[in-house]
Amino acid sequence: MMAPVENFVSRRRTFAIIAHPDAGKTTLTEKLLLFGGAIQLAGMVKARGDRRRARSDWMKVEQERGISVASSVMTFDFNDITYNLLDTPGHEDFSEDTYRTLTAVDSAIMVLDAAKGIESQTLKLFEVCRLRNIPIITFVNKMDRESLDPFELMDEVEDKLQMEVTPASWPIGMGRDFKGCYDLLKDELVLFDRSKGEALSATTITCSGLDDQLIDEKLPPDQAAKLREDIEMIRAICPPFDVESYLGGHMTPVFFGSAVNNFGVRELLQGIGQFAPSPRPQKTVDRLVDPHEEKVTGFVFKIQANMDPKHRDRIAFTRICSGDFKRGMKLFHTRTEKQMVIHSPLMFFAQDREMVEDAYAGDIIGIPNHGNLRIGDVLTEGEKLKFTGIPSFAPEYLQRIVSDDPLKAKHLGNALQQLAEEGVARVFKTLLDNAWIVGVVGMLQFDVLADRIRTEYNLPVKLEPTSLYTARWVFSDDATKLKLFLDNNRGAMAIDHDGDPVFMARNAWHLNDTMDKNPAIKFTATK
Ligand code: G4P
């Protein structure tokens, strides 16, 4: 018999969906939740309406631009497996949030629009997955529309991603002639029933293989013939599905379907349950943390403020990496070396959040706090661990932020401090004139930041361009030399939200010249 923790761990699948905007990520998410029973069919439309109303004003940025800036976690069960789906913002702007979220998953679903194939954002996100060895299942969506030839799509995935591709299901027709899929892993004919609309119904017919007469009974002769021809070709040119190769990130199985019609979603979900990895060991500076270890470890990968407008709290999204976490546990916060009692850990189910009593490796718990938990922070039962791979980004664009009301400068400072801790942007305060400079990696982050300050802190602000070129954190082993450097360069110095010194360069020459003249000082683009 398996030990209890082992049993819980093996039943968990923690994953994200990566997609180019408009490929159908939101739709697929909803359908997965529907299968998981996390939302009801009748309630879905209503929930949508409610959610729209409940959205705070700053989310207008999302609505206006048709993007999802805030991401969240959704937990649901299906066939005895607990799925933790981490939502990644899908807009085209470079997003730090997305990259951090991908540090907390064990696998990913890549959604492609069947008419478009691999698009720019898909490729970027894929590269992040590749760096982290995250295995990928591909879902080709919108088969109910005119799409690219499926063989062409498979070629494209193989060429652009440089990995082996093999179909898990194969489409029969497309657009108006889309009849369903042949499930190559189970030898089943899954027929698409247009009349069912959004209902959970596709007719599944078990076949004894491709020669089965049932295929001829259910499909028009030309489509039955084409299916047999296609599959013969696939078997000749595609490698058979190999789980090990998939788990190693070398092969992606492809499912075809139509999320909006709820077609192919169940097969996809079964595929994740069957093949996707359960929580994997996590790297730390000194050792690998095995998910089955008895002691609890976890790291914070995301901070979100004001999820509930009634509470001005912040939630630290924490991935449990090992152990059996229990509510009320006292954990060691390695950055501050203090103990923390986790009184009210939350888990997230579609639109709800609930207090949890237990959590295991792969689970994401939300820890309400007032700013003591930060991105990258580690919680353990005493060991001083540091998980690796939570990316930090150099701010590439710098703008000055000012309040329209000069009397509210202190207020602005508080807001910026909180948002900096949340990881929304880097915030610097110049030493000479106490100006606030905001540093981001994608221009859209400016809009999000300004909008949040306006709506959440009720502070009208504007952003102004600066002539600053870049920011570098400065360190030195020699405290005297560091002090001397800070004094000599006071006009170009700022402090970040932790009070650490940052050199603000006016141009490349200014940076290089200063570095040349101060060999005892280390300059870093990230902290
Ligand atoms: P995203 O989160 O990846 O950006 O995509 P989203 O799910 O919002 O889907 C983008 C559009 O594609 C939506 O249409 C959605 O209904 C449509 N869509 C999703 N899956 C399918 C599919 O299987 N077949 C077809 N034909 N369309 C699909 P929209 O017009 O932008 O929004 P809506 O008014 O339909 O909600």
Task: Give 282-380's CATH code, choosing from 3.10.450.50, 3.30.1330.60, 3.40.190.10, 3.40.50.300.
Answer: 3.40.50.300
Tokens of 233: 């070709």
CA of 425 to the centre of ligand 1 (A): 31
CA of 92 to the centre of ligand 1 (A): 17
Three-class DSSP category at 181: strand
Q: What is the pLDDT of residue 404?
A: 84
In this predicted structure, the answer to whether residue 71 has a pLDDT above a threshold of 50 is no
Return the CATH number of the domain spanning residue range 397-524. 3.30.70.3280
Ligand 1 in contact with 270 (CB < 6 A)?
no
Ligand 1 in contact with 65 (CB < 6 A)?
no
267: nearest Cα among 326, 312, 202, 340: 202
Q: Are strands 251-256 and 202-206 parallel, antiparallel or unpaired?
A: unpaired
Ligand 1 pocket test, pick from 63, 260, 268 with the greatest ligand atom count within 8 Å of Cβ, gives 260
- Indicate the pLDDT class of residue 388, thresholds 50, 70 and 90: confident
Do residues 35 and 269 lie in contact, with contact meaning Cβ atoms separated by under 8 Å?
yes
| Beta partners for residue 180, in sequence order | 172, 191
CA of 362 to the centre of ligand 1 (A): 29
CATH 3.40.50.300 residue ranges of the chain are: 15-72+90-275, 282-380
Q: Considering only CA atoms, which residue is closest to atom 15 of ligand 1?
A: 24
Ligand 1 pocket test, pick from 18, 26, 27, 72 with the greatest ligand atom count within 8 Å of Cβ, gives 27
Overall average pLDDT of the 390-418 stretch: 87
Overall average pLDDT of the 459-469 stretch: 93
Q: What digits encode the pLDDT tens for the residues 503-514?
A: 999 999 999 999
Q: What is the pLDDT of residue 198?
A: 57
Task: Give 15-72+90-275's CATH code, choosing from 3.40.350.10, 3.30.465.10, 3.40.50.300, 3.40.50.970.
Answer: 3.40.50.300
Q: What digits encode the pLDDT tens for the residues 286-322?
A: 999 999 999 999 999 988 875 555 556 788 999 999 9
Overall average pLDDT of the 45-54 stretch: 39
Q: Are strands 251-256 and 136-141 parallel, antiparallel or unpaired?
A: parallel
Instruction: Return d(Cα 109, Cα 116) in angstroms, integer.
Output: 17
CATH 3.30.70.3280 residue ranges of the chain are: 397-524
Q: What is the pTM of this model?
A: 0.83
Least confident of 49-58, 243-252, 400-409: 49-58
Q: What digits encode the pLDDT tens for the residues 244-271?
A: 999 999 999 999 999 999 899 999 999 9
Instruction: Return d(Cα 463, Cα 260) in angstroms, integer.
Output: 40
Ligand 1 in contact with 21 (CB < 6 A)?
yes
Closest atom, ligand 1, to C-alpha of 259: 23
Instruction: Return d(Cα 524, Cα 474) in angstroms, integer.
Output: 7
